Amino acid sequence: EQNKFGNFRSIHPDQDSLNFQGKTAFYDLKTSELKIGGVPFVKSCDAFIHLGDGNIEVNPGGAIGQLSNCRIVADTITKYHVINRATVNLKGRKEYTASGFYEYNVGNKEQEIEFKDIVGTRVGKGKRSEKAAVTRAAGVVSENENFLIDDAIVFQGKISLSAEKKNLDFDGFAKLQSPVLPRASWFSMNCEADKKKLSIPFEDPKAPNGQPLGTGIYLSKETAKIYPSFLMPLYFRKDRPILLAMGDNKGYFKHDKVKDELRLGDSTAVFDPAAKTTLLTLNNKTGKYTGTGKLNLGSGLQQMSASASGVVTGSVNENTGAPSLEGVEHDMDVTAMVGFDFEIPDKLLKVIITDLQSSSFDARPIDYSRELPFYERALIDFVPNEKDLKAELIELKDYGMNLDAKYNPFEFLFSKLDLKWDAEYQSFYNEKNLLALTSISAVPINRLLEGFIEIKMPTNGDDRMYIYLKSPSEDWYYFSYKGGILSTVSSSTRYNDILIGMKPKELSFKRKNGEFYEIQPINPNSAQLFVNRIRAIKSGQ
């Protein structure tokens, strides 16, 4: 009947009873060709194949002629994917091959993926008649196509489609496309991605040439300069991380479109803005970056340690990521809670504690309430137990910091130091002349004291530490540490008398790790030379 659909079914043994509807049919007795018109679509495999002109030609023997300008919708249930302008070779009810174009618009940019290899076929194990039929597709986009997978990320490489999955798979290299980071590097990417809420996992990321990439704040081993890296090659593989945004060299990247902020870190920090784990962010408009989390200060110190957590802030510039650090400067500020763990005889520490406690009314107390967010974040790296952390934070708000001794093994714990890096001296030093001393050997102090701290991190890795504390009583105490030798002196005659009167075995001994540790008295002039050096650094001399 005219304008009514008729049903057509293949009896070809290899076409699995392929069937479809059409409105017209013409069979050529001479050529044995069947021409069917008015065909709206053909269902093959897990896809609807919509015909461009509605015509199908069946050749002698039952083979179907190539279809052009089709639209493939897959799968038939979810209809997640649409492939346009497709050229299709129908092979049966459960098999077809094709090529076509997949629309992948990002923001205002209209773009397409050319899928040259589209295959609908049986997959999985089992009998042929029982296997599921699934559409797969693959295509490649090149660097010069400037293909966006987010309005801040470009991609080059292989893109794959599986009809049963909502998102596409990307295997290749991505790059941050940021106006403030013109020298961004391509980084390896192999994951499923949702362009509406894109997040990219990375593990041991590499550049196209195989060079490892770093994410964090690093200290150059060759130039003693500090620089930020956002999935970029390090200048030297042994550059030291000050803040590492990739724990175990893996993490996530996400573009926060509301803040226009690039976020790199572990999954908790990247997906939850309120999370308190290591994170590196970059504002896509201002170029300002912030790194929060564990800090590696004095990582080359031997037989002592500096545990630190805090915030690193700075700004990128047009030279960030340049091939060389020559002429490149990155000014940054470090705010950190720092605990120094090294051996000082208890009898010497008692002198300092007694002095500070007896003159505590002449020193300003630390006001923790003014910067609670900083302390709440920093304490996470010092108190990993969540229950204990909550208890410590409650006490912090009400009474000040008084860490349980199991979390405070430090001879000196400073709750907040504002540090600057000087490449010439290869040192971190405290920018302000007041030090927030929280405790000495777990004994609460919680006072602001005059003093200086220097953490020297030279390019040869021979790290050193210097502390100069001045009590409200006007007595000062000085410590310098290098390679297992602690040198100390004070303006307090009692302190010096105790130090000089100590037995040799108290001043030189073997530690549990088998290494020798030595404590030696030094001339008071050494302390004054240190103070003069720090003042010279601060004045830029």
- Domain identity same for 389 and 494: yes
Question: Which pLDDT does position 105 carry in this prediction?
Answer: 95
Domain assignment present for residue 147? The answer is no
DSSP conformational letter for 172: E
pTM (predicted TM-score): 0.88
Q: Which of 330, 358, 381 is the last residue of a domain?
A: 330
Question: Which pLDDT does position 541 carry in this prediction?
Answer: 54
Question: Which pLDDT does position 274 carry in this prediction?
Answer: 67
SS3 content of the chain, % helix, strand, coil (to 5): 15, 45, 35
68/510: higher pLDDT: 68
**174, two tokens:** 């991505």
Distance in angstroms (rounded) separating the CA atoms of residues 230 and 215: 5
Domain assignment present for residue 152? The answer is no
Confidence of residue 247 (pLDDT cuts 50, 70, 90): confident
Question: Which pLDDT does position 385 carry in this prediction?
Answer: 92
Question: Which pLDDT does position 312 carry in this prediction?
Answer: 97
Domain assignment present for residue 155? The answer is no
How large is the average pLDDT for residues 232-257? 89
Confidence of residue 401 (pLDDT cuts 50, 70, 90): very high
Confidence of residue 231 (pLDDT cuts 50, 70, 90): very high
Question: Which pLDDT does position 123 carry in this prediction?
Answer: 83
Domain assignment present for residue 159? The answer is no
- Domain identity same for 124 and 220: no
- Domain identity same for 447 and 415: yes
How large is the average pLDDT for residues 323-336? 91
Taking CA atoms, 33 is separated from 1, 5, 53, 65, in Å, by 22, 20, 18, 10
- Domain identity same for 221 and 370: no
| Amino acid (one-letter) located at 268 | T
Question: Which pLDDT does position 78 carry in this prediction?
Answer: 93
pLDDT at residue 272 tops 80: no
Query: What is the rounded average pLDDT for all residues in the chain?
Result: 92
Taking CA atoms, 299 is separated from 426, 431, 486, in Å, by 14, 21, 17
Query: Residues 197, 223: contact at Cβ < 8 Å?
Result: no
How large is the average pLDDT for residues 186-199? 91
Q: What is residue 423's three-state secondary structure? A: coil
How large is the average pLDDT for residues 10-15? 83
How large is the average pLDDT for residues 488-495? 98
Question: Which pLDDT does position 43 carry in this prediction?
Answer: 95
Question: Which pLDDT does position 129 carry in this prediction?
Answer: 67
- Domain identity same for 348 and 318: no
Q: Which of 267, 295, 330 is the last residue of a domain?
A: 330
* Residues above pLDDT 70, as percent of the chain: 98
DSSP conformational letter for 292: E
Question: Which pLDDT does position 337 carry in this prediction?
Answer: 98
Confidence of residue 392 (pLDDT cuts 50, 70, 90): very high
How large is the average pLDDT for residues 34-46? 94
- Domain identity same for 288 and 320: yes
Closest CA to 306 of 450, 427, 431: 427
Domain that includes residue 184, residue range: 167-330
Domain assignment present for residue 161? The answer is no
- Domain identity same for 435 and 455: yes
- Domain identity same for 451 and 318: no
Domain assignment present for residue 214? The answer is yes
Distance in angstroms (rounded) separating the CA atoms of residues 442 and 445: 9
- Domain identity same for 72 and 212: no
Q: What is residue 146's three-state secondary structure? A: coil
β-sheet bridge partners, residue 280? 264, 291
- Domain identity same for 321 and 341: no
- Domain identity same for 29 and 138: yes
Taking CA atoms, 454 is separated from 297, 501, 530, in Å, by 11, 28, 9
Residue 307, number of CB atoms within 10 A of its CB: 20
Q: Domain total for the chain?
A: 3
Confidence of residue 426 (pLDDT cuts 50, 70, 90): very high
Confidence of residue 455 (pLDDT cuts 50, 70, 90): very high
| CA–CA–CA angle 482, 483, 488 (5° rounding) | 40
DSSP string across 445-463: EEEEEEEEEEEE--TTS--
User: Tokens 């050749």 appear where?
Assistant: 59
List phi, psi (to 5°) of 337.
-90, 125
Confidence of residue 1 (pLDDT cuts 50, 70, 90): low
Question: Model confidence over 508-525: pLDDT tens digits?
Answer: 988 877 788 999 999 999
Domain assignment present for residue 414? The answer is yes
Question: Model confidence over 149-169: pLDDT tens digits?
Answer: 998 899 999 999 999 999 999
- Domain identity same for 307 and 355: no
Domain assignment present for residue 518? The answer is yes
How large is the average pLDDT for residues 317-326? 90
